[in-house]
Amino acid sequence: MEAAHSRYFVFVEKAAALLLLIYPTFMLVVKHGMNGVFLFMLLLAFAVWVVRPPGISAVVWRREWTIYALAMVAMSVAILASQTANHSNTVRFHDAATRYWLSIPVLLLLHRLRPNALTVLQFAFPAAAIIGFFLAKNMGGRSGVVTLDVIRFGNFELLLGAMSLLSIDWFGRDSFLLRALKILGFAAGLTASLASGSRGGWLAIPVFAAIFIYFRTSKISPRVVLSAIAGTVLITALLYTASPPFHQRVNELASDVAEFNKGNPDTSTGIRWQLYKAAVDVISRHPFFGVGPAGFALEMEPMMKAGKITPAAAGLGLGEVHNDILCKTAGMGVFGLIAMLAIYFVPFGLFWRSTKSAFGPVKRAGQLGITFVSGIIVFGLTAECLNLTLATAFYGFTVAALLAVCYNTHYGEQPANP
């Protein structure tokens, strides 16, 4: 019996480690792969809840997890409130939001595992970035994979590349080969993002650079700020000179702006601007409960007939608003806004607190968490990054995995108080 329990314990740790290793790659290259990995991790968490193997401690709830749990549940509550107010209770709109609160059991399982089961994360990010780079193919002049649209592919590749770079020396001094893998992951992620032409996501590059510089210097000073600005300008100039996709997409942006100023609103940038104004108009008329998760699309034809937006903008507005915060606020009103901000900033706050830890792996996990959440926030400014189940599963799962390192029971009472 004791041997059986020991085998069960080893199985749980190895299964969890395998799922952590493959999940970002599966998201990029396997249709429904992210949701599949999420499901298997949930089943593993349920099995441990029913029969806890010796070697895994019982859950000890921490005070700050209450606000984390509320933040993860908030979007489901906002959707339900909006649908009730708008007399529309379509279940499918709850699907993506469930991935946030279903990530809570993932955290409760992973934070109790031994740290060596979590160290695979440092391989997962660069491996996914590199595999995504090699599997990308031409998709109508832009590079991507068949499982994702090119915007998400480019954004996620950039994020995985940045995570690869910041994971150097995460769990101790890396070997030469491991360091090389992480640097290669960064290069692959950046290159794949540039080839995808997902220029909205490139706004995150200076944010990632600022995070990297800040946590390497541990302070903000005029010199650090000037260095970050100079570095951003230099990187932009180099990319503009050396990367044809970057050069082309920047020139297209300049052309879009010029056409918009001439009175042509139906450029890529102009249509987004129209949709943002349309969302603000909807919010001003329905501030409390919004127009429902599907209500923005229904507003397109009346707004087009009223001359507020062009037919081209109305057509694209049937699909999305191209901004996560405006989308959730227009759809669910102030409750959607609060939920979206909570989903962003509650994990951000927990990760920030972790950066004050005396334990190196915990501190670096906090830095990676800040990088991850910041990237998702920036991506959501120009596209609806978190409107699909695979995206919310990726977000909830990654936040839970990084928090599991921050609060791992084997590191003691972590993170330390700031």
Among 93-102, 238-247, 303-312, the least confident range: 238-247
Q: Mean pLDDT, the chain, as a whole number?
A: 90
User: What CA–CA distance (Å, rounded) separates 109 from 70?
Assistant: 18
Give me the mean pLDDT over the 324-336 stretch: 96
Write the DSSP symbol of residue 152. H
Interval 6-64: pLDDT, tens? 889 999 999 999 999 999 999 999 999 999 999 999 999 999 999 999 889 999 999 99
Work out the angle between the directed axes of helices 2-29 and 389-406 (0-180°, nearest 10). 130
Among 127-131, 291-295, 333-337, 362-366, the least confident range: 291-295
Q: What is the largest CA-CA distance in the chain?
A: 78
Assess whether pLDDT exceeds 60 at residue 417.
no
Which residues make Cβ contacts (< 8 Å) with residue 364, sequence separation at least 6? 166, 167, 169, 170
DSSP strands (E only) in 320-363:
none
Angle, vertex CA 233, rays to CA 227 and CA 237, nearest 5: 140
pTM: 0.93
